[in-house]
Amino acid sequence: MNLRSGDVDTFDTSWRIRPETKRYHFKRGKPDHQVQFAFQNHWRVFRSILGNVRSGVALEVGAGRGSMAAFFADAGFDTCLLDTSATALASGRYNFERDDLSASYIVGDVLRLPFDDNSVDVITSIGLMEHFDDVRTPCAEQIRILKPGGVLLNYIVPERAISVQTLAIPINLLLRLIHWLGQVIGGKKRATPPAKPALYRNEYDSKHYLEIYRSLGLDDVGSYGTFPMPLVSHSYDFPFSPMSPDAEKVLMACWRVLLGIYGAISGRDPWTCPERWGLAFVVWGKKSREEGD
Ligand SMILES: C[S@@+](CC[C@H](N)C(=O)[O-])C[C@H]1O[C@@H](n2cnc3c(N)ncnc32)[C@H](O)[C@@H]1O
């Protein structure tokens, strides 16, 4: 087991045993909960970076259940999900079929991508790169297969003691207590989910990735902090767990108002924020077109 190259075994175990990994966050139209809301916002910002790249081959590496890849497939890209975990990909296929989306599914490693040089229009990853200590190698593979004019978007969730999520700790503890009391009073016996396996996460910031991108030949590059709202949930060890439908509706209404105010004051897309504040950051780059292209 190589703990610093994607934590492959730990993820595979997680996909097999943890109940929350069955959830999928793509939704057309109105989102049902905060995580779908977040993914719709991720997609809106991605679209603005993609510019006029609106079709062609889109590959999500470390695609898992395919939440982000689904937006590409829904927008008409010829989409491919690649992951080391066959279990995760089976869940992605199930989700796609249910949503009438088509894609190809490859059990593979981002360190040895089974694609020709210059063959993919868009490459993305969500929550993958922070699980490597050597991030140069997966970046080099991504850039190798990216077409001239193509776009690379890595969404990274770094290890951090303090971020916007810190604000939600007291709220989440209170919600957990209420949830637990509700179960005790209601006499419901809750099955304890298997323990969450520990994952390696690096602490690199966007500067580290941007240097790598530039040294590997991407000249049009950039980054932004993102996910400026904390996850609010009764689930202590997995705050991506949605609450009741009514609670989620209220929460999303609050978020819309706050993001509207923040966007008006800051003049930026409200889903982007300073890197130290957000739950994640995105490092993107476009591959130069070769002369004559
Ligand atoms: C945090 S999960 C993200 C899953 C997915 N992007 C999502 O949002 O649901 C990271 C994924 O990367 C996969 N992974 C880990 N190491 C990998 C590698 N070397 N190559 C390809 N996928 C890898 C794991 O199996 C896992 O599905």
Give, for all 293 residues of the chain, the pLDDT tens digit: 344 666 788 877 777 776 666 678 999 999 999 999 999 999 999 999 999 999 999 999 999 999 999 999 999 999 999 999 999 999 999 999 999 999 999 999 999 999 999 999 999 999 999 999 999 999 999 999 999 999 999 999 987 888 888 888 888 888 888 888 888 888 776 666 666 678 889 999 999 999 999 999 998 999 999 999 998 887 655 556 677 889 899 999 999 999 999 999 999 999 999 999 999 999 999 999 875 45
Q: Which two structure tokens, joined as six digits, stand for 75?
A: 């927008």
Angle separating helix axes 86-98 and 8-17, nearest 10 degrees: 50
First to last CA, the chain: 43
CA of 261 to the centre of ligand 1 (A): 34
Is ligand 1 within 6 A of the CB of residue 153? no
Is ligand 1 within 6 A of the CB of residue 92? no
Contacts of 195 (CB under 8 A, 6+ apart): none
- Work out which ligand 1 atom sits closest to the CA atom of 60: 6
| Cβ-based burial of 48 (10 A; exposed 0-12, middle 13-18, buried ≥19) | exposed
Q: How many C-beta atoms lie closer than 10 Å to residue 140's C-beta?
A: 14
Per 3-state DSSP, the chain is made up of helix, strand and coil in percentages (nearest 5) of 40, 20, 40
Measured on CA atoms in the order 255, 36, 179, 161, is the torsion positive or negative? negative
How far apart CA 127 and CA 143 sit, in angstroms, is 18
Collapsed DSSP state (helix, strand, coil) of residue 18: coil
Question: Whose C-alpha lies nearest to ligand 1, atom 2?
Answer: 127
How far apart CA 19 and CA 23 sit, in angstroms, is 8
pLDDT for position 293: 52
CA distances to 19, 191, 217, 289 from 235, rounded to whole Å, are 12, 14, 43, 47
How far apart CA 89 and CA 105 sit, in angstroms, is 7
pLDDT for position 240: 63
Strand partners, 120: 146
pLDDT for position 193: 65
Is ligand 1 within 6 A of the CB of residue 124? no
How far apart CA 279 and CA 230 sit, in angstroms, is 7
How far apart CA 127 and CA 63 sit, in angstroms, is 9
H or E segment to which residue 88 belongs: helix 86-98
CA of 115 to the centre of ligand 1 (A): 18
Q: Which two structure tokens, joined as six digits, stand for 127?
A: 């929550």
pLDDT for position 292: 46
CA angle in degrees (0–180, nearest 5) for 191-244-246: 170
Question: Whose C-alpha lies nearest to ligand 1, atom 4?
Answer: 64
CA of 62 to the centre of ligand 1 (A): 3
Structural domains of the chain sorted by starting position, each given as residue range(s) with its CATH number in brackets? 8-287 (3.40.50.150)
CA of 164 to the centre of ligand 1 (A): 24
Length reported for the chain: 293
DSSP character at residue 168: G
